[in-house]
Amino acid sequence: MDYRPTPDTPRAAFLAGLRDTIPLLVGAAPFGIVFGALGVSNGLSAGATMGFSLFVFGGASQAIASGLVKAGADMTIIILATLMVNLRHALYSATLAPYVKGLGQKWLLPLGFWLTDETFVITVKYYQEHADSPHKHWYQLASSLAMYINWNACTLLGLLIGTAIPDMRQWGAVAMTVTFIGMVVPLLQTRPMVLAGIAAALSAVLLQGLPNLLWLMVASLIGVAVGVLAEKARPLDR
């Protein structure tokens, strides 16, 4: 018999969010430690490094911004580069909007700030399965808080001991790659989703030469475009 509580209360939804996020914390931890270790080496103070994780809370954008700081880039360049990397969150927001449209700003603002790739992946699946639950946003809150606390704790750990661990940058990259593959593959359940995933993956490999991680954004847009076209073509296949 399954004794796990059903998501009929805020507490049950919150606990479900914590439970489902635990595996993702393991994958994000090395990346957080890497940023903590590299922040200072890129010219940031310990306070600035922690400030990035506390107030920016975006792994890829933090890494890019700290690298640009080290290179002496203009503030405008730093802002534009991080904006490009985070444009994918506009797609995330559009996907989640129908499920949270009844919430007030006191919910939408923190949920928007704390939204990460990992939280988006498990939350959208949960929302689809519990679309009628009035407490489903508590699931996203739990996942968001877990990711936020974990990320900042790992950044602090990286500041303290990260530089003593050899090849930490490589370990962080491997961990994040494996984590993202594990999150995305189970969601590829329809033909448009599969085609979108394949198109994005191939584009990412072929466009690696683009500067400032532009390949990431371009590959994402190509994947979205292929998915949309495949979805529109579905009725013709029947």
Q: Render 115-139 in DSSP notation, one character per residue.
A: --HHHHHHHHHHHHHTTT-TTTHHH
CA distance 20 to 130: 15
- Running DSSP on this structure, what letter comes out for residue 189? -
What average pLDDT does this structure show over 212-235?
Answer: 77
The tokens describing 176, both together, are 């994040």
pLDDT per position as a tens digit, 197-206: 888 889 888 9
What average pLDDT does this structure show over 20-33?
Answer: 88
Closest CA to 143 of 123, 124, 161, 159: 123
Place of tokens 């371009």: 218
Dihedral sign, Cα of residue 234, residue 221, residue 92, residue 185? positive
- Give the residue extent of every domain in the chain: 10-175, 188-238
Contact 114, 145 (CB under 8 A): yes
The tokens describing 31, both together, are 């990346």
Which pLDDT score, from 0 to 100, does residue 3 have? 42
pLDDT per position as a tens digit, 92-130: 888 899 999 989 999 999 999 999 988 998 999 999 999
CA distance 11 to 19: 12
Which pLDDT score, from 0 to 100, does residue 1 have? 40
Contact 138, 20 (CB under 8 A): no
